[in-house]
Amino acid sequence: GAFYIMGDFSDIYEGTNLDFSKWLIREHGVASIPPSSFFSDEHQHIASQYVRFSYCKNDDSLHEAVNRLTNLR
């Protein structure tokens, strides 16, 4: 599985989310994904000021999450 968080960059950068993603990598060494590529042309505006960040968990954390979710039954 994968984990993602969306971040609004509108207070710190003017431009497209693709431009922001490139700027963030170039200037700060942090990778993000412009989520507008996941939206249809009609809905591009929804993601225009956001980027998506992925983060990973180790296996122990994921197993613990499974155990906790299993106990919800």
Q: What is the pLDDT along the chain (73 residues), one digit of tens a residue?
A: 677 879 899 988 999 999 999 988 887 777 889 998 889 999 999 999 999 987 666 789 768 867 886 765 4
For 18, list phi and psi in degrees, rounded to 5: -65, -45
d(Cα 60, Cα 66) in Å, to the nearest integer?
A: 10
Rounded to whole angstroms, the Cα distance separating 59 from 67 reads: 12
Q: What is the pLDDT of residue 48?
A: 94
The two three-digit tokens of residue 2, written as one number: 């994968």
Q: What is the pLDDT of residue 70?
A: 79
Q: What is the C-alpha separation between 15 and 23, in angstroms, rounded?
A: 10
**DSSP letter assigned to residue 16:** -
Q: Give me 11's structure tokens.
A: 């207070």
